[in-house]
Amino acid sequence: MSLHPALLVEMLEEEVSVARVRLGDRIAGLDIVGTDIICALEETTVGTVYLRLAAADYDAEPMSFAVVTETGEIAEPAKWPGQLFHSIHPSLERAMACVQGTYEYHSFPGHTADRWDAHRRTLRLSHLLDHIVTKAGK
């Protein structure tokens, strides 16, 4: 069951505010665009990149994560910085990062026993982004 849109916006704004403080100058920007959270990283192993966390069904479902181009398309694996790219997700058929707390992780066949519900109260956006940004080499 999804949150009321106004409540979702309020929750995302609060979580982004906490994440900005936690990540500080490790990131170039952190914005909410609709129900997506876009995090810009500069000077990575592949230049400037954009990390997208799609949060339309948050927090009933984990956020979906991808490295995206400036136009919002999922970037090819060679454009994922640092150690972010894990593999092509077998059912989604697109690049994925193996990061607990993302939709891709919890829907991966080897991780289906690790349910999102076990983490949703403690694994918040600031923790998730901190882990992702670290894997990206920042």
For the chain, the domains span: 5-135
Residues 114 and 78 sit within 8 Å (Cβ to Cβ): no
What does the alpha-carbon distance between residue 94 and residue 71 come to, in Å, rounded to a whole number?
17
pLDDT at position 1 is: 59
pLDDT at position 18 is: 98
pLDDT at position 25 is: 97
Q: How many CA atoms lie within 13 A of 39 on its CB side?
A: 29
What does the alpha-carbon distance between residue 101 and residue 59 come to, in Å, rounded to a whole number?
10
DSSP SS3 for 136: coil
Question: Which residues of the chain carry a pLDDT beneath 70?
Answer: 1
The single residue listed with the structure tokens 């979702």 is: 8
